[in-house]
Amino acid sequence: MSLRKALMAATILSLPLAAQAQPITGLYVGGGAGANWVQSSTNNVDSDSSVRVRLGLPNDSLKAKYELGWGGVASIGWGFGNGLRIEAEGSYRENDIDQLSAFGTRGYSIGGKQRTYGAMGNVFYDFALPSFIPQFTPVVPYIGAGVGYQWVQMDNATGRYGPNARLVIDDTNGQFAYQGIAGLAFPIPAVPGLSFTAEYRFLGTLSPQFDTEIQSVAANGTRTVLSRSKTEFDNYNHSAMLGLRYAFNTPTPPPPPVGPVVAPQAVARTYLVFFDWDRYNLTDRARQIIAEAAQNARSTGSTRIEVAGHADRSGTPQYNMGLSRRRADAVAAELVRNGVQRSEITVEAFGESRPLVPTADGVREPQNRRVEIVLR
């Protein structure tokens, strides 16, 4: 294989990959959803010690455990065409509270949820990985980090301690938030600009503080608030999400290069029929040439066929004029026999006046003993 052909083949094979692995340039939107896990939080309840003693609670420790929950994100961003992206993101996460252990005793959660929601500003970088498999959709790894503001809501989080002690947290607190992201994008060749994403997200906030009540519950179910205080929680979220991202300015892949167009072979417009010396009868080869001329006259839509007879200089000019005429008439008759209308044929005789090969008088030049057929 020549170097030129090898380079052309490599270029053709690389085109689909180049189109699919284009870095994001301009506006894009994205979204995703998945599972969210909140790390257990160990802190203290800032409560009145006399209340704890009254209820028989050993200390003011608090530990929260959460069930596996869910979360979702939606974003709009801008790519700079070099792998760097910035975006604004809104997110929401929700987890049921599995257990509130407080006051040195194992509590039992009666109910409640923790919700985390807010807005973040993120910076990403997409890595361009080489691919050695033609037509294989590349995977684009990316990493990102962001900062923003998140509200953390404890929705009627309630723990029971002994027969008549309750701890209730029902409050919302906003805090500075930060996150780290690592993911993979899988471009979808059928829709330029659309990618499937799979990513891990860590989201943390500064420790939110919540209004907290310690209540006693009477036998008839009546609750009495014994203490109000603040409880500080840690808030660390781990999310695994699947989603879609669409970049608006992704160029469509160029069509495969078209090979060089081979022009159809031009139909001959002039034919030469040669004769033996001092003859005007047609040879087998001459009949083949005339048949080809007749066929091409029909296929090209020719409206006029010129037939011109010629002779060499071996005879007198008067004799050669008559011989060239008989040769032209013989060719015209054969054209008619092959389906050409006689009215479309013009016949002329030039004798020895227009030699194909100039010669001295009396020379028997074979190429001058001819009839020219010209399709018009």
Residue-wise pLDDT tens digits, 127-145: 987 665 555 568 999 999 9
Instruction: Give the pLDDT band of residue 3 (cuts 50, 70, 90).
Output: very low
Per-residue pLDDT reduced to its tens digit, 145-204: 999 999 999 999 887 776 777 888 999 999 999 999 999 999 998 999 999 999 999 999
Mark whether 296 and 240 lie in a shared domain. Answer: no
User: Are 76 and 210 part of one and the same domain?
Assistant: yes
Which CATH number belongs to the domain containing residue 76 in this structure? 2.40.160.20
d(CA 57, CA 215): 12
pLDDT tens sequence across 108-121: 667 799 999 999 99
Q: Please count the CA atoms within 13 angstroms of the CA of 161 that sit on its side-chain side.
A: 28
Report yes or no on 49 lying in a domain: yes
Residues 213 and 353 in one domain: no
Q: What is the CATH number of the domain that holds 285?
A: 3.30.1330.60
Mean pLDDT, to the nearest integer, of 91-96? 97
Q: What is the pLDDT of residues 224-280, one digit of tens each?
A: 887 888 888 899 999 999 999 999 987 766 676 766 766 555 555 888 999 999 898
Query: Do residues 213 and 282 both lie within one domain?
Result: no
Structural domain contains residue 11: no
Among the candidates 247, 280, 314, a domain finishes at 247
Average pLDDT, the chain: 84
The number of domains in the chain is 2
Residues 6+ apart with CB under 8 A from 324: 309, 310, 311, 349, 350, 351, 352, 371
238 and 194 share one domain? yes
pLDDT confidence tier of residue 50, bands split at 50, 70 and 90: low
Q: Which alpha helices (H) appear in 21-166, and where do they start and end? A: 49-55
**Type of residue numbered 29:** V
Asked if the structure places residue 320 within a domain, the reply is yes
Does this model's pTM top 0.85?
Answer: no
The whole-number pLDDT of residue 110 equals 72
295 in the same domain as 210? no
Q: Which of 216, 247, 278 is the C-terminal boundary of a domain? A: 247
- Cβ-in-10-Å burial (0-12, 13-18, 19+) of 157 comes to buried
Q: What is the pLDDT of residues 272-330, one digit of tens each?
A: 999 999 898 898 999 999 899 888 888 887 778 899 999 999 889 999 899 999 999 99
Tokens of 136: 């294989």
Residue 355: domain span: 270-375
Same domain, yes or no: 159 and 307:
no
247, 281, 297 - which closes a domain: 247
Residues 37 and 165 in one domain: yes
Residues 149, 296 within the same domain: no
Would strands 108-126 and 165-187 be described as parallel, antiparallel, or unpaired?
unpaired
Establish if 257 belongs to a structural domain: no
Domain membership flag for residue 3? no
Residue 7 lies in a domain: no
Same domain for 280 and 336? Answer: yes
Residue 290 lies in a domain: yes
One domain, residues 53 and 87: yes
Is 4 contained in some domain?
no
My answer on whether 39 and 157 are in the same domain is: yes
